[in-house]
Amino acid sequence: MRTTPIDENEQFVSMQAMLLFEFSLSAQRQDFYDVTPQVRQAVVNSGIASGIAVVYCPHTTAGITINENADPDVIHDLLIGLSKAFPDRSEFRHAEGNSTAHLKASAVGASVTVIIENGKLLLGTWQSVFFCEFDPPRTRKFYVKVIGG
């Protein structure tokens, strides 16, 4: 990244805006909860037209992902697939008994980043941002950091 002008007539202005938004979610069952409306609202409230939105989950038994929002069977199949990939096992030693939730959360991940252009999220036609609950029931929170320049 260049930090000095090529010639004396060129000037650089570096302005970056960053805003943090916190949201709450009541997760009553293991599921993928569509949080796209909250992420969109954070972008609108930020006033940022071009940048990125980082959606972050601060929990060890939940995650954030982007996937299809058009067919509910996709979420159903994802939950089945994760349960088959990470079944409960007698060898697990974690005292709380929720090792499968920790495994699923690690596999899914704690955050996603979405590009913002013209004040809108650049999601594909069928995409949504999902909060993935693996250890219900819980009251959860997630954050949206909107960064623009």
Note whether 23 and 38 are within 8 A (CB).
yes
**pLDDT single digits (tens) 52-102:** 999 999 999 999 999 999 999 999 999 999 999 999 989 989 988 899 999
Which CATH fold would you assign to the domain 27-148?
Jelly Rolls (2.60.120)
What proportions of the chain, in percent to the nearest 5, are helix, strand and coil?
A: 25, 35, 40
Which pair of tokens denotes residue 119?
Answer: 């004040």
Binned at pLDDT 50, 70 and 90, residue 1 comes out as: very low
DSSP one-letter code for 89? -
**For the whole model, what pTM was predicted?**
0.88
Binned at pLDDT 50, 70 and 90, residue 3 comes out as: very low
**pLDDT single digits (tens) 14-28:** 567 999 999 999 999
On average, the pLDDT of the chain sits at: 91
Average pLDDT over residues 122-136: 98
Q: Tell me: pLDDT of 148 over 60.
A: yes
Which pair of tokens denotes residue 145?
Answer: 């950091």
Task: Parse the chain into domains and list their residue ranges.
Answer: 27-148
Return the minimum-mean-pLDDT range out of 64-68, 93-97, 121-125, 130-134: 93-97
- Of 145, 137, 129, 127, the C-alpha closest to 63 is 129
Share of the chain above pLDDT 70, in %: 90
Q: Tell me: pLDDT of 104 over 90.
A: yes
CA atoms within 13 A on the CB side of 54: 12
Binned at pLDDT 50, 70 and 90, residue 6 comes out as: very low
**What's the confidence (pLDDT) of residue 5?**
43
